[in-house]
Amino acid sequence: MLEEKSSSGEAQSKRDNHRSGTPAGVQALASLLMELQPSSDGPQILAADALYQLGRVEEAYRLLLAAGTPNLRAPVLARERTAAGAHLCQVFGQEPRDAVAQARLGVMEAWQQNYCSAARRLSKLSEKDLPILDFLLALLPFNHRKCTAQAAAQEASSVSLCGQWDQALALLTVAVQAEGHLKPQYLRQRAACFAQLGLHERAISDLDKVIQGHGRASGSDDPKIRAEDLCRRGRSLVLCSKEGAALEDFTQALNLHRDQTIQCVEAGLGGPHLAECFLRGALQHYGEQQLTKAWTLIESGLTVDGENAELRRLRARVKREVAIPCIVN
């Protein structure tokens, strides 16, 4: 009898917690589901999220690691996810104002394969909440993360057409965190957002990762794409007053794919502007008597703007001073 009362009291306590609408209540609900369906992963995932909210991070990760890949066709598990999502809506409201609560609902929507809505909810998290975003994305199996990333990138493309760059940036951060190391394109898209917002140091950081991957399995072997990446980074480097590194990027881009580089320059800094940068770099090398380096920059500058008179004069001066047949034609 005492055992029955004790068991009854524990059950009542769990029901009270469930009604309380707290993380402890969510964890209690998940515990009950785990008792009823010990072989299912849905309750374990819900419990892991609740434990994380309660600050019990190590327990959450252990529980998460114990959960295997779920059978998405299992109707029982599908109902559990629906029930879990409904419960979170009940706890936080249909449209919770708290960004973390929105993101948790986003995880449930991703489980239900509603990836567009999931991406929008997850994007509510601010930059300081990236550890939370990473944790929530870890609750999803690879294929769900991949689909969520795709949905986030597509939504970002749509909102950027309307000039909503901040919103696009948040969505692309979801895509990058979900699958960025496998999809350099998401880093490229986010770098473009950073550049539009004038955050060129951040753009450079993303493009560094993309360019480091050139030639690798996850990168690109296409000279045209590689040249475009270098031009994008070069533009941001110029706007960050790092002309030396920028000229290296543009020179390398010209060697990879001349026509694509010229097209990128015309769409970005413009040929005359970049030619002035090449002129300053060439004059510096000329003053240091590094004539071969000066010649390289002069030729690159005249490639992007053949009408630059100062570069032409400097070219003639270097030609007179250098007696190396492979340089002087």
pLDDT at 19: 39
Residue 115 · residue 96 · CB < 8 Å: no
Q: How far is CA 246 from CA 35, 81, 199, 207, 277, in A?
A: 61, 51, 16, 13, 9
Q: Which is more confident, 127 or 178?
A: 178
pLDDT at 161: 93
pLDDT at 35: 60
Average pLDDT in the 3-20 region? 45
Question: What is the phi/psi pair of residue 303, to 5°?
Answer: -70, -40
Average pLDDT in the 181-192 region? 91
Maximum pairwise Cα distance, the chain: 107
Most confident of the following: 36-45, 76-85, 241-250: 241-250
pLDDT at 43: 67
To the nearest whole number, what is the mean pLDDT of the chain?
81
Percent of the chain at pLDDT exceeding 70: 68
pLDDT band at 54 (very low <50, low <70, confident <90, very high): confident
Most confident of the following: 21-25, 35-39, 124-128, 216-220: 124-128
pLDDT band at 17 (very low <50, low <70, confident <90, very high): very low
pLDDT at 98: 74
Average pLDDT in the 18-23 region? 47
The least confident of 50-64, 196-210, 232-246 is 50-64
pLDDT at 28: 63
pLDDT greater than 90 at residue 107: no
pLDDT greater than 80 at residue 196: yes
Helices (H), the chain: 2-20, 23-36, 42-53, 57-66, 75-92, 99-111, 115-122, 130-138, 142-161, 165-179, 184-196, 200-212, 223-239, 243-256, 258-267, 271-287, 291-304, 309-321
194 Cβ contact partners less than 8 Å away, ≥ 6 residues apart: 169, 200, 202, 203, 206
Which pair of tokens denotes residue 19? 């009604």
- What residue segments make up the domains of the chain, in order of their start? 27-94
pLDDT greater than 80 at residue 8: no
pLDDT band at 7 (very low <50, low <70, confident <90, very high): very low
pLDDT at 58: 64
Q: Which is more confident, 7 or 46?
A: 46
pLDDT greater than 90 at residue 325: no
Q: Which tens digits make up the pLDDT trace of 69-79?
A: 443 333 333 44
